[in-house]
Amino acid sequence: MNPCTDCLSIAWLLGEVGGHIETMPPRSRPRGLLTLEPEAMIHLLGGKRSASLRKRLSQFDPNAAIGRIDASGLQAACCHSGQFEWPKALAIDPEPPAVLHVAGDAGLLARPSVAVVGARRADAYGREVARQLASQLAAAGICVVSGLALGIDGAAHRGALDVERGLTTAVLGGGADRCYPRKHLPIYREIVDRGCVVSEMPPGTAVWRWSFPARNRLIASLSKVVTVVQAAVGSGSLHTAEAALERSVTVAAIPGLISNPLSHGTNRLLADGALVICSPEQLLEQLGLQRVARSKIVPHELRELMQRLEAGPVNPPDAASRGEAAEFNSRLAQLELLGLARRMPGGSWVASG
């Protein structure tokens, strides 16, 4: 079955008035703007195009819309019907999308999920924390939800994908068939292949500034817990946390140095009562889960070396070519960064633990 005509028409209209929403001052945007009926949305946003939009809406062809969805390699559903089951959380959401467009495995939308979000300009520490949290969650069978943005989001997706059969869902502000940012195209392709990319916007829709906070409400709604790793004051991740609280979703945060601006937002969340997360184990405990064996969260390309380290001390090759030595040392450094290997005083390496 396909989404119903009414919901498809609302999704189409949303794509058409995106530019008008962009020019509207944020404080003047009414709550529930994206859930307005077509006539109300046209009246509010259409401006000089109102008559043209009404005429085009009256001529809306649902079969053509389905054709564009199919041609983009997407699946679609609304709360009434569709090509996959509508997520239960969205059935009771105060601001549900008209249509969900999905690339990849739409079945993940029904899986237990935890959001890992944070600053786009995250530092190395924040990115590594996000990656470790996501790896442990994915290894425990939890689907990791994030927004595919630079910084914490990308690290979270990467951490989930590092796990064999790890699951992750990316919620986009533009069409699900368009990777944004383009820098994350390799991750996007992996997620489509192994996970799920979802958007309320029709295929081909560009990203607007307003579409980021709009997609943040979907990240919150699809998650059992929203975990903020790093966020400055005013960060979009704090909007995700606010949306979570409005939906009675647990908000967790990673404490940080009071001198680091990237910790000001997360520390404020903690002061306001967010769950303090000091380790992956603590987050798993909150979910009633246990830490998974280390071997299950080692990136595929590092597993052979990890097995050697677990068998006993490993010395970097002495007679290797410069390129081979550099590659070997690079892999050891990656394992060290993941907290899986440590260097001994004599120069040999062993598994941490």
Final residue before a domain boundary, out of 294, 309, 331 = 294
Do 41 and 26 reside in the same domain of the chain?
Answer: yes
Q: Are residues 61 and 121 in the same domain?
A: no
The per-residue pLDDT of the chain, averaged, comes to: 91
Last residue within a domain, chosen from 74, 98, 122:
98
What pLDDT was estimated at residue 332? 83
What is the average pLDDT across 89-117?
Answer: 96
In order of 16, 200, 314, 325, the CA distances from 56 in angstroms are 10, 20, 68, 64
Distance, CA of 146 to CA of 222 (rounded, Å):
10
pLDDT in the model for residue 345: 79
- Please provide the distance, in angstroms rounded to a whole number, between the alpha carbons at the two ends of the chain: 51
> In this structure, are 116 and 186 located in the same domain?
yes
High-pLDDT (> 90) share of the chain, %: 69
CATH number at residue 141: 3.40.50.450
3-state secondary structure of 159: helix
Least Cα distance to 87 among 245, 247, 235 occurs for 247
**Domain boundary residue, one of 245, 260, 294:** 294
The number of distinct structural domains making up the chain is 3
Domain region containing 325: 299-351
- What are 226-285's pLDDT values in tens digits? 999 999 998 989 999 999 999 999 999 999 999 999 999 999 999 999 999 998 888 888
pLDDT, position 321:
64
Peptide bond between residue 186 and the one before it cis (omega within 30 degrees of 0)? no
Residues 168 and 273 in one domain: yes
- In this structure, the answer to whether residues 198 and 278 fall within a common structural domain is yes
pLDDT of residue 197: 98
159-184, pLDDT tens digit by residue?
999 888 899 999 999 999 999 999 99
With CA atoms as reference, report the closest residue to 208 among 6, 4, 86, 33: 33
Confidence band of 314 (pLDDT split at 50, 70, 90):
confident
- Position 295 scores a pLDDT of 52
* 193 and 240, same domain (yes or no): yes
Residue 23's beta-bridge partner residues?
none
Measured from the Cβ of residue 70, the count of other Cβ atoms closer than 10 Å reads 14
Same domain, 204 and 281: yes
> Between these two residues, 312 and 101, which has the higher pLDDT value?
101
- In this structure, are 89 and 114 located in the same domain? no
| 179-222 pLDDT per residue, tens | 999 999 999 999 999 999 999 999 999 999 999 999 999 999 99
* Number of Cβ atoms within 10 Å of the Cβ of 212: 18
pLDDT surpasses 80 at 101: yes
Given the structure tokens 């940080």, which residue do they identify? Answer: 256
Residues 207 and 345 grouped into a single domain:
no
Lowest pLDDT segment from 32-41, 57-66, 89-98: 32-41
| 227 and 152 assigned to the same domain | yes
Sequence-ordered alpha helix ranges (H) in the chain: 5-16, 18-23, 38-45, 50-58, 62-71, 88-91, 124-139, 152-162, 185-194, 211-221, 236-246, 261-271, 280-286, 303-311, 322-337
Same domain, 113 and 87: no
307 with 174, same domain: the answer is: no
* Confidence grade of residue 326 (pLDDT, cut at 50, 70, 90): confident
**pLDDT score at 115:** 98
Summarised one tens digit per residue, pLDDT across range 128-160 is: 999 989 999 999 999 999 999 999 999 999 999
- Per-residue pLDDT band at 318 (split at 50, 70, 90): low
Mean pLDDT, rounded, for 5-14: 95
pLDDT of residue 153: 98
Length, in residues, of the chain: 353
Report the percentage of the chain scoring pLDDT > 70.
Answer: 95
DSSP string, 212-247: HHHHHHHHHHT-SEEEE----TT-HHHHHHHHHHHT
35 pLDDT band, cuts 50/70/90, is: confident
pTM of the model: 0.84
Q: Is the pLDDT of residue 296 over 80?
A: no
CATH of the domain at 323: 1.10.10
